[in-house]
Structure 1
């Protein structure tokens, strides 16, 4: 059952890459039967729910099954299907209708499913005889996922009532994004990693300190996306402290990983090590950019240019989260190996790196009001590379019994 859900999740990632390719195609060429804005909503919602949330749920259930037995998947099967159905409902109806009654119904179903998953999974964690630091990360992830729904509901409320306040619209969008990216996604990934390598770190006190720093910093870090509101001094100081706290915690984490690098080398396979290293580099870049954004002038400049925002979001979703999850999948499923799979991973990873470089170039050029010749053609080519890598990966894993 675990292998089945892994294959479904990887298929969903391939669909996300396909939608990204179509979006890039429509910037250059006519495709009149598809609305660009509707397709963009479908792409983002399906990436969050159909790919990241789906695979996180699958991997979290797999982690639980190691302590409670394989039958745990039967208990969560209906929740995994509910999330899958709601994800495809959003994919279809956002593509066809944008924000309509049906797309909002499936979005709401997705949120309710995440709440039910959080409730049941929390109870199962509490029933385990041994509590670890991994459980703290996973519980925090569940809370942040539930909290992010406030942004989605406020956004739906504003659209339903045709409210046009730009500030409230942006605050709602950034609230949802922040507690998904920096809450649910990040804390769940860290929880899975801690569960995988918990025996490597004997100093649990330090691991708890790192967790508490990230936990404390998560809520105030939301206001990094709202520095254009001219925040009061006390809140701005809290935001800067949160950004510094995350950097400090990450440095401490990297120190521990470096000390235990030989042990980790034997624990993780070559593909996993490669992907997790790239994910760690991307996360380091993310935290550095986040710290730089505490300078108000830089923050206003960055958030004023769409390519920079898009590049930053893709850095997190592709560079940090997706590469980590792919690496973790290969560590959980050693059978998903071989030359063709390594080739597929190499193609996809090349696409991720090229995509970030091109978006960075486009963003920096936009800040100087310079149009880079051929940049959209290159981004389309990169989107094709990403899709090709995922297409080959899906073909390979389906040939493995």
Structure 2
């Protein structure tokens, strides 16, 4: 990958470090006391910046990098202003949400962020149409940018309810889950699968790759109701939800089959640390899909969405275990991140922190089902956050050290 991509990725990694830093503060405030910080406001800043400043920023960079391999590096100039605009709105939300919560300026920045995604979707869709070689990869990327735009309907619905001061709990949750679903099951997931498919398509059965895409894309809309089974939905919608959950599992089994057939090639073309991060990401996705399948049982769904620790554990499983580890593994596999001893150590520590964090969150969630209080669980979660923070700090230091040495060499 070009030096241009590496520079942007370093910015995205720094943003991930900021997300981890805020995570430490949030966990510290729960375990101890920080009276001058509004927990809810900071949490909003944390989540919005994680979505826009880290994941979306990284995905946009990698999608543009893919386009550059097809159309030449001059394409970077076309998207530079969009990458800067997304970064600007992300930092705007990072500053305004902790200060005022949902207020005038935070809503302005979040709205501007949505418009940036619209522009990116239109630009990217048009550039994909200009490519001479049509492949399944393009379907994944088109679906990704479409679902990113679609998710904004949930955000606008939330804003409309707040402005009108008519916030019914069910409708509020429905709008919130709509946004979240089409972000992490649409934009994030489809973009990552597109990047993966781009690497698999050279030696894979194109018919199987197309089948995998069709199964996932037809399932994504009805799968939204997996997050809304607590609502009074019609029986036929419930049947579609079950079919969608099974379709996603089947599609993933097909994907694992394609990966298995290419294991010798994949192993030889990537460093061990990248391989392990991608394995952990695949494991997280497998757990996620099985949990979704299990949640089609109404009693289990009511339990899961009735306890906040379980919801938080699930979101962290997806955003950290599945998406973040995939992005880091992909970057390491294809030399977007410079690999040295500190890089490897940082990646190992960060991944360990994610696993420990997930174990503690799920333990807390299961204990909540029986209203059991686990001693020192908040302190344990703070420790997990500090482990992730330490790992990312090492990752950043490793990249900056390399850059300085390069400058000295020149």
Task: Tell me whether the two structures share a fold, i.e. TM-score over 0.5.
Answer: yes
Mapped to 1, the partners of 2:128 and 2:268 lie a distance apart of: 28
Residue of structure 2 equivalent to 1:136: 139
On the 8 A contact 2:6/2:337 being kept in 1, the answer is no
Q: How does 1:222-237 map to 2 (within 5 A)?
A: 222-237=224-239
Q: Does 1:396 align with 2:398?
A: yes
1:199 aligned counterpart, secondary structure: coil
Other-structure match for 1:339: 341
Q: Distance between the aligned counterparts of 2:200 and 2:270, measured in 1?
A: 9
CA distance, structure 2, for counterparts of residue 335 and residue 272 of structure 1: 10
| Alignment gaps of 5+ in structure 2 | 404-410
Post-superposition offset of 1:335:
5.9
Contact 1:335 1:400 in 2 (8 A): no
**What does residue 268 of structure 1 align with?**
270
CA displacement 1:222-261 (0-9 Å, x = unmatched): 0001111132111100000000000011011111211221
Which of the residues 379, 388, 398 maps onto 1:386?
388
Distance 2:337 2:242 in 1: 45
Change in 2 beyond 3 A, CA 1:33/1:335:
closer
* Cα distance in structure 1, aligned partners of 2:167 and 2:153: 18
Q: For structure 1, which runs of at least 5 residues remain unmatched after alignment? A: none
Native 8 Å contact 1:279 1:324 kept in 2: yes
TM-score calculated relative to the size of structure 1:
0.98
Aligned length: 400
Aligned with 2:233: secondary structure? coil
Displacement of 1:332 in angstroms is 2.5
- Contact (CA 8 Å) 1:94, 1:103: kept in 2 or not? yes
Distance 1:207 1:171 in 2: 32
- CA 199–362 in structure 1, closer or farther in 2 if over 3 Å, else same: same
Please tell me whether the aligned partners of residues 133 and 208 of structure 1 are also in contact (alpha carbons under 8 angstroms): yes
1:318 maps onto 2:320 in alignment = yes
Alpha-carbon separation, structure 2, partners of 1:233 and 1:168: 20
Q: Which residue of 2 aligns with 1:192?
A: 195
Matches within 5 A, 1:74-223: 74-201=77-204, 203-223=205-225
Instruction: Find runs of 4+ consecutive structure 1 residues off by over 2 angstroms.
Output: none
What SS does the aligned partner of 1:64 have?
Answer: helix
Query: What's the TM-score, normalizing by structure 2?
Result: 0.96
The separation in 2 between residues aligned to 1:160 and 1:47, in whole angstroms, is: 25
Q: Does 1:249 align with 2:247?
A: no
| Matching residue of 1:362 | 364
Deviates more, 1:75-84 or 1:152-161: 152-161
Q: Map Cα deviations across residues 110-151 of structure 1 (whole Å, 9 max, x no partner).
A: 100001001001111110110111111000001000000000
- Once the two structures are TM-superposed, the CA of residue 267 in structure 1 deviates from its matched residue by 2.4
- Contact residue 200 and residue 263 of structure 1 kept, 8 A: no
Give the direction of change, closer, same or farther, for the CA distance of 1:173–1:277 in structure 2 (3 Å limit). Answer: same
Between the aligned partners of 1:68 and 1:209, the Cα distance in structure 2 is 27
